[in-house]
Amino acid sequence: MNVKKTLLLAALPLALALPQWANALTLKASDTHPAGYPTVLAVEQMGKTLEQQSNGELKLQMFAGGVLGTEKEVVEQVQLGAIQLARVTLGVVGPVVPDVNVFNLPFVFRDEAHMRKVIDGEVGQEILDKITQSEFQLVALGWMDGGTRNLYTKKPVRSIADLKGMKIRMIGNPVFLDTMNAMGGNGIAMDTSEVFSALQTGVVDGAENNPPTLLEHNHFSVAKYYTLTGHLIIPELLVMSKITWEKLTPAQQTLVKTAARQAQMNERELWDKKVASSNEKLKAAGVEYITVDRQPFNDATASVREKYGAPYADLMKRIEAVN
């Protein structure tokens, strides 16, 4: 009898601990960016916040550097609930929720500050809600900065006339290719991994991206001129599996939403520091930063906004009205 009583008492702490243990959920998070990148760090911090505020019920494990697959593969796994969280670009969502495509248009944002006000405000929230309410099986939790894209070339571009006929690598999206062609260049679709050798061999005369990419892919060693056109400013998304979301309690859902908003702001600070540090390193390495009159580039791409932006005319007016 005493033995039974002892066993019962010994098992009691485990039984008391079981409910919390049973409810514990480890969120598997994916990012194609490498470890230490602002989006990765922000989501890792989000995980620490969730673990602390949920008393260990929610934990997060980050898989950076694309180890869980390409973005398309990751989104499919998120839809199935095999991966719980992912940072993704707009391209994978655009076919299902067309409104996000408006952010891919050239000069739809005046500058980065304007873009941030838009995504932090009504328009940004509406688009997140549309993604969540779609049949895409994703819950859109927030936005991440993807930076401002500028031209980098082997010969200087000091005005729109200098760009004429230059072969410039672009992401293989018709909007982006048409944007470059409208500005007078010759848009060439090419994978990021091929750009360095293409610059070296003269297959392309330049490319376009944000300062951290120019630095970290070593493209600056071949393309020494960085022209601040700011033609594209494209935010990214933080999404969660709807299957996972529906398993959470209302209190846990609130925690996740709040932590995601914090991650959005945290990533922004990290991004700004990374851009400032990249700019310093690029200038120290002899890259010439060229400030141009952006208006001719903006005017030249009006046809692209008309062609691809027609379904989103009202949305574009609302974006323009944000001060």
List the chain pLDDT tens, one digit each, 323 residues: 554 444 444 444 444 444 444 568 999 999 999 999 999 999 999 999 999 999 999 999 999 999 999 999 999 999 999 999 999 999 889 888 999 999 999 999 999 999 999 999 999 999 999 999 999 999 999 999 999 999 999 999 999 999 999 999 999 889 999 999 999 999 999 988 899 999 999 999 999 999 999 999 999 999 999 999 999 999 999 999 999 999 999 999 999 999 999 999 999 999 999 999 999 999 999 999 999 999 999 999 999 999 999 999 999 999 999 99
CA proximity to 206, closest of 136, 155, 149, 133: 155
* 27 and 95 fall within a common domain: yes
* 302 and 208 fall within a common domain: yes
Our separate counts of H helices and E strands in the chain read 13, 11
| Domain assignment of residue 80, yes or no | yes
* 135 and 241 fall within a common domain: yes
Q: Which residues pair with 225 in a beta bridge?
A: 153, 288
Tell me, what's the pLDDT at 10? 47
Contact yes or no for 154/224 (Cβ under 8 A) = yes
| Domain assignment of residue 323, yes or no | no
* 142 and 152 fall within a common domain: no
| Domain assignment of residue 302, yes or no | yes
Single pTM value for the model: 0.89
* 138 and 252 fall within a common domain: yes
Contact yes or no for 153/227 (Cβ under 8 A) = yes
* 115 and 250 fall within a common domain: yes
| Domain assignment of residue 322, yes or no | no
| Domain assignment of residue 136, yes or no | yes
Give me the number of domains the chain comprises. Answer: 2
| Domain assignment of residue 209, yes or no | yes
Structural domain that includes position 256: 2-146+235-277
* 285 and 209 fall within a common domain: yes
Contact yes or no for 305/107 (Cβ under 8 A) = yes
Burial class (CB in 10 A: 0-12, 13-18, 19+), 93: buried
* 260 and 170 fall within a common domain: no
Tell me, what's the pLDDT at 11? 46
* 225 and 125 fall within a common domain: no
DSSP helix/strand/coil, 209: strand
What gap in Å lies between CA 11 and CA 100, rounded to an integer?
54
Tell me, what's the pLDDT at 14? 44
**What CATH number does the domain containing 228 carry?**
3.40.190.170
| Domain assignment of residue 42, yes or no | yes
* 156 and 139 fall within a common domain: no
* 203 and 285 fall within a common domain: yes
Angle at CA of residue 245, ends 70 and 259, nearest 5°: 85
| Domain assignment of residue 140, yes or no | yes
* 188 and 214 fall within a common domain: yes
